[in-house]
Amino acid sequence: MSFSRIRLRWRELAVITLAMTLAWGIRGQHGHERGSAIAGAMAGLSIAAVTGGPRWVGAAVIGSLSFAVGGALSYGRFVSLAYQGSWEAIGSLGLIGFAWGGLGALGLGLGLSLPKYRPWERAIIAGGLFLVWFLVDRLIWGRLAGPQDLATRELMAVILLSSWALVSAYVGVWRQDRTSLKLAVAGAIGFGIGFPLAAWVQGIGGTLGIPVDWWKVAEHLIGLCGGISLGIAILTLEPTWTLPLAVRPLERWFAVTWVLWVLPAWLIANNLDFWIVERAVLPVWVGKAVGLVLLLILVGLVLWGWLEIRRGRTFVTSWLPHQLKALFLIFLWSTTLIACSKTWVNNSWTFTPVGFILLAGLVSWALRSR
């Protein structure tokens, strides 16, 4: 392998890794399922941009949903305990990262390999993961209080980890889907390392006296570890990829609408709730006006998709490399700016938004320099 080829691999890895570093910080800005969905979509779209693989756009949709399942987990209580030397807390953080990253990356692999699975298999896997999310987020979440609080959080992680192990065994052993299995393991390892390491960095940082949001630094570190592990696994899979043989225009339109409207609109809704309900710095009518604008944009996307499909253009042919890059960059900057805008209520530009913009700029530069 030539030196230029090695350098190219490092640039591709840098794009994926930096994108995940940014995405996990954005995840923390919005929290729970909505923030986690951004991380999954960012992973899939960054991979599409650096590899030119059009199937990764669909994988970004499935990946956003699978990462969102992990958003039901809560790990904040373990961080301070881990830095104090609690091996139980350290192990719990590793367990949470393993389950969260493993399920998220497994979804990316399933999105890439989806044509291999029959409709009933897709329905069972999707239904099973939905039930797991419902159990953790709706039935168990309310028990996060009292003397059993930490044990309940650990139980939530064990449930998700068990579902990861079950689905991974099915796709890897029974269906011989090595791609999904490799990504599931890579995501589990990367995030499993990242969560405990982030707790240590946050604790050390708090003693240095440097006026930086060390919690946000820790979140970025989690994304960095997960991105490195995923990126290495992805780039070693590339030679075995095959392009889609059939193009489904409606699926392609839905994928674009999901990443360019649904996910950003979800974040904007979180911002509006923060500004109007929690901080009361905006009147209610502003939220209604923004909602109307978002609805009009959706109508425009529907009309545009219908015209493009009818004319046999955008959604009926395979994505070209420059289109995949453009799709990724639009998603990257829209979610970054939405996350930054949430901080305006504090009337100051702190480490958080500046860090977001710097990371987005680095990703854009690394992608352009490929």
Q: What is the residue whose two structure tokens read 């453009």?
A: 326
Encode the chain (370 residues) as per-residue pLDDT tens digits. Answer: 444 444 457 889 999 999 999 999 999 888 889 999 999 999 999 999 998 888 899 999 999 999 999 988 878 788 878 888 788 888 989 999 999 999 999 999 999 888 889 999 999 999 999 999 999 888 887 666 666 778 888 888 899 999 999 999 999 988 999 999 999 999 999 999 999 999 888 888 877 777 788 888 999 999 999 999 999 999 887 555 555 556 689 989 999 999 999 999 999 999 999 889 888 888 999 999 999 999 999 999 999 999 999 888 888 888 888 999 999 999 999 999 999 988 776 555 577 888 999 999 999 999 986 6
d(CA 174, CA 230): 23
3-state class of 140 per DSSP? Answer: helix
Q: What does the alpha-carbon distance between residue 204 and residue 210 come to, in Å, rounded to a whole number?
A: 11
Query: In whole angstroms, what separates CA 234 from the centre of its chain?
Result: 15
pLDDT at 164 (0 to 100): 94
Could you tell me which of 286, 289, 370, 365 has the C-alpha nearest to residue 332? 365
Percent of the chain with pLDDT over 70: 92
Look at phi and psi of residue 74 and say left if phi exceeds 0, alpha if psi is from -120 to 50, else beta. beta
**220-363-294 Cα angle (round to 5):** 85
Cα 312 from Cα 317, distance rounded (Å): 8
Contact in structure between 43 and 20 (CB atoms under 8 Å): yes
Q: What is the DSSP string of 220-262?
A: HHHHHHHHHHHHHHHHHHGGG----SS--HHHHHHHHHIIIII
pTM of structure: 0.92
pLDDT digits (tens, 9 = 90+) for 85-142: 788 888 989 999 999 999 999 999 999 888 889 999 999 999 999 999 999 888 887 6
What is the distance between the alpha carbons of residues 44 and 20, in angstroms, rounded to a whole number?
A: 10
Closest CA to 72 of 112, 123, 22, 131: 131
Return d(Cα 363, Cα 333) in angstroms, integer.
10
Per residue in 195-238, pLDDT (tens digit) is: 999 988 888 887 777 778 888 899 999 999 999 999 999 988 75
Q: Count how many residues are written for the chain.
A: 370
Contact 57, 319 (CB under 8 A): yes
Handedness of CA 233, 236, 237, 241 (dihedral sign): positive
Contacts of 184 (CB under 8 A, 6+ apart): 102, 103, 105, 106, 109, 164, 167, 168, 171, 172
Burial class (CB in 10 A: 0-12, 13-18, 19+), 191: buried
In the chain, which ranges are continuous DSSP H helix?
A: 3-30, 32-51, 55-70, 76-83, 87-113, 119-134, 149-169, 178-206, 214-237, 249-257, 263-272, 284-310, 321-341, 351-368
Q: In this predicted structure, what is the pLDDT of residue 239?
A: 56
